[in-house]
Structures are given as C-alpha cells and as structure tokens.
Structure 1
C-alpha cells in the first residue's frame, strides 16, 4: 500500500539480515533468473519462493525449508479438470522455469502449456481469457482471489507440495551454516509460524530439512 515490498519472503530476508548484522538490499528477480543472479554475483542469496530440485542442487546450495508452498492448477468452474488426464488438450499458462512449469511437463504432458516470463503475465493471460487455466502456488492464487473477490476461479489439480528454500552459491559453507541456524531458531521460537500465519493464513507446520 505504501509501495514498499511486503510478504513472507521479505520478512524472511529481513530476519536473516538482522541476525547476520547486515543491511538487506532487495534485488527483484523473475523465476528464470533467480539462479542466474547467484551465479553472476548479482545477489548473495535468493529468497524467492524457490523450490529444491536435483537439477538446481547441482549449481546452488539450499538451506533448510523456511515456508510451506503448494503448487496447483486453477481455472474457471465451468472447465472440468480434476485429474492430470483431464488436463489433456486444455490451455494452461505458467511462468517459464518455475517449479510449476517442470511439474506440468512431467505430470500433464498432454496439456497445452503457454509459458510467460513472470507471474504477472501468467496470471494476466488467465484473467484476459487467453488460457483456460493457470499453474502457480496456492498462495499466489489466494492473493489473486482476494484482489478479485468475484473472480470465477477454483483449484483444479494439486501438482506438488514444494516448500521454499533459501539458495546461495556453491561453496558458501559458513553462510549456509549461519542461515540454517537462523531458520532452525525461527522454527523453534514460533517466528516462522508467525510469518506463515500472517501471509498464508495458517501456521507453517512441520517443514522438511
């Protein structure tokens, strides 16, 4: 509301900065360049609803999970799709390079996937009627519904439970250990649950390492 970035990831970044005793500089990224910014030293760590995959783990190191996150396909109520098979032939927008992009490719190869460079474009394609459905995190969909209460939209198929992790360049073992300690303490003292309750409407619960 005051043009200052807010959210779960922002709160997590500020907590880590405070615990490390450093000033936080927020660097906006998109799904395709989140890893590249680490590799080219444009950012020291990435806190951007990033899921952990074997492919990504080859080039970056991951912290403990700091947030819950479910990937799903959403669409209008008139479109029938309650299984991966029923996604065949249907148009779905997704953000290029995201976890949802990879999951759709694996789980719904028969879907007609339209890829966009950022979340706003992915959502706009659905809102404009260019696609029947869109794939994103449930938190993003919840925010969209909150901003558009009359929007005809419902969850169709859950793609995955994909918690969020902090990523950093390979070899930063000291930094990784410090961030893991901060996350572990934030889990234990209720800070993580507080962030989750504020931004997702429910406690984070048991998060994987």
Structure 2
C-alpha cells in the first residue's frame, strides 16, 4: 500500500475511534450508587475512638451514633455495610481516593472541605469548645497565649486554635482516643474538643474535672462522598430528610448523646 494512503487510512481510523473512546470514557465514569447496589456492599468510613460518635462497646463491637447511622443507611439501600475504621486525619483523604464510598465521621461542613469532597445536607451537630481545669482563667483565644492546649490533628479544633490562639503551645494528637488518654493521665489541663469527648475525658480523668471555658463554634455535620456523585448525594439527602421527618435519625442521635437535634437541621446550608 502507498505509504501516503496508509498514513491517511490510519488517521481516518483513529479519528473514527475518537467518538467511541469519548463515549466509552463517559460510560466508564463512576456511578457510586449503582456500584454500591451492584456490589451489595456499602463501604462506610468512620473514625473510631470518638466518644458517643464511634467507639467499642463492652463486647468490643463498634457502635456509636455514626456507626449506627451507617448501618441504617446500608439497610435502607438493601446492602451490607463494610465498616472502614480510620483516624480523624484520614477522613477527607479516604473519600478523595475512593477507598470508602461515604464517610459518616462527625465531619463539619466547611467551605475548604467542600472544595475536595461533597457533603450531604446536615445529619447531626456538635459544639467545638475550649475546656480546662477550674483554676485556669480562660475566657477567649487571647487568654490562651503562653498556655499549653491539646487538640486532635486535622480537625476543625486544630484549625481554629492554630489560627486564633496566637502564642499558645499547641499539642497535636493523632485521634481523640490519644488526646483523651493525655488528658486522663494529667498531661494536659487545657483542650480544644467537643462536648461529647469532654464527657468521656472527665469520666476517665482522675482528680479535678475539666469545665467548658468558651464555645468556639457550633457546627453542622455532613456525610462526605466523592465529588460528582450526584445520584448518591441525592439519595443520601433524601434519606436524611425522610429520617428526620419520621424521627428515626434524631432518636438515634439522642440515644447516644442525650440531646435533641434541631428538627429543621436538614434544611440548614452548613
């Protein structure tokens, strides 16, 4: 065959293949909801060691409001739940890398996180607080200057203390369980944490209890999922709204946290 004709033929064949490749590329794009149903399994990432949200019960079985929420979602989907146990620092990366389908991990909805993962409508809340022993006079961030305060790494607490507590000595721990141990052993007299964790700290701490010094922020929590999974997000949003309407999700939360969620929480934007 004439080399010129052969080259032209290869070009035409390649050009003809481009639409098919493009179509194949669209078909190959992930549809997480369809994949979950096909696999009959929902991979739910949950950071363990967070009091009331995710912990081991007396029989060493995972439980807590986030773990049980994951179970309810899997049940509603008609699939099995695979619990993916992680640390707080891994919450966003595990969704970005798609090593879990969703994260139910007391993760606050923030503009920064929303750039790299998608969030459902809020499903729960938490208060970020600074707590310390009674003898320490702290009323605001300025009072933390020169003082040592413990935080869990890669949390909103970490970010807020780093940005606002100028001159504080910040001690970072990999997860809430390690932070809790440091407080219980008397290594720390000031912490930035959440009310649920503070209750467990005081249960385990010998001697003087920690008290709330000031509330840093009240946060809405969202279920995180990979960017662009529209069908999965719509399904989860609908499930959360229905579960608030019938009272099942607020009742589950109250069972562990002994407090009520706002009835209109799913209508909040953040």
In the superposition, the TM-score normalised over structure 1's length comes to: 0.94
* Residue 53 (str. 1) matches residue 110 (str. 2): yes
Give a deviation string over 1:64-88, Cα, whole Å, max 9, x none.
Answer: 1111101111111111112221111
Counterparts of residues 95-134 of structure 1 (less than 5 Å): 95-134=152-191
Tell me how many residue pairs correspond in the alignment: 209
Greater helix share, structure number: 2
Q: Which of 1 and 2 has greater Rg?
A: 2
Whether contact under 8 Å (2:120, 2:222) holds in the other structure is yes
Report which structure shows greater RCO (CA 8 Å, sep ≥6): 1
1:30 offset after TM fit, Å? 1.1
* Residue 85 (str. 1) matches residue 148 (str. 2): no
Aligned to 1:74: 131
Counterparts of residues 160-199 of structure 1 (less than 5 Å): 160-199=217-256
SS of the residue aligned with 2:83?
coil
SS of the residue aligned with 1:72?
strand
Q: Which runs of 4+ in 1 moved over 4 A?
A: 147-151
Give the distance between the partners of 1:35 and 1:196, measured in 2 at CA: 23
SS of the residue aligned with 2:113?
helix
Give a deviation string over 1:27-78, Cα, whole Å, max 9, x none.
Answer: 1111111111112222110001101111111110000111110111111111
CA RMSD in angstroms, aligned pairs only: 1.6
Out of 121, 137, 144, the residue aligned to residue 64 of structure 1 is 121
More deviation in 1-10 or 101-110? Answer: 101-110
> 1:151 and 1:3, CA in 2 relative to 1: closer, same or farther beyond 3 A?
farther
1:90 offset after TM fit, Å? 1.0
* Residue 7 (str. 1) matches residue 64 (str. 2): yes
In the superposition, the TM-score normalised over structure 2's length comes to: 0.73
Give a deviation string over 1:114-133, Cα, whole Å, max 9, x none.
Answer: 11111122222222333321
1:147 offset after TM fit, Å? 4.6
Structure 1 residue runs of 5 or longer lacking an equivalent are none
Whether contact under 8 Å (1:60, 1:167) holds in the other structure is yes
